[in-house]
Amino acid sequence: MVQIVWISVVSLPVILIDCQPFHPMPQGSSKSGPLTDTDIGGLTLWIVGFLCEFFADLQKYKFKQDSNNDDRFCTKDLWTWSRHPNYFGEIIQWWGIFTIYTETIREPWMWIGIISPLFITCLLLFLQVPALEQHSDVRFAS
């Protein structure tokens, strides 16, 4: 049951986009091609988030391949700026998806789609990160 709610909340912007009938752009619209400036901004956010998450995971993987680093916390590359750059990338990706979604909002109630990136942001910042910090404090205490 929890998984159904989780997937529904996270997928909300995409579900709402897919449930809309096709509406051509109105006369005089500033949209000049298949993508609007908002779409490009959201896509840029998503790409930056994806690359951040990808490289953070890759850098941590390479760091952990060295047996000298078994009892050390990764503090190289992206990990010098944040203890959780992969989560930062994940959060940015979901805000990018939401940004793209805003282009399709036609009714005030459709702003409910903001629940998706807020859910991911809160989940990672207030649940996952504190749990990992507590685990890391014990594991890397020395």
pLDDT digits (tens, 9 = 90+) for 68-125: 988 888 888 998 998 899 999 999 999 999 999 998 888 888 899 999 999 999 999 9
Residue 1, classed as helix, strand or coil, is coil
Place 10 in a pLDDT band, splitting at 50, 70 and 90: confident
Q: Taking a C-beta distance cutoff of 8 angstroms, is the pair 86, 105 a contact?
A: no
21: left (phi over 0), alpha (psi -120 to 50) or beta: beta
Question: What distance in Å separates the CA atoms of residue 140 and residue 73, rounded to the nearest whole number?
Answer: 7
Which residues make Cβ contacts (< 8 Å) with residue 126, sequence separation at least 6?
none
Q: Which amino acid is at 103?
A: E
Residue whose structure tokens are 């989560």: 87
Residue 133 has pLDDT above 80, yes or no: no
Contacts of 101 (CB under 8 A, 6+ apart): 13, 14, 16, 17, 42, 113
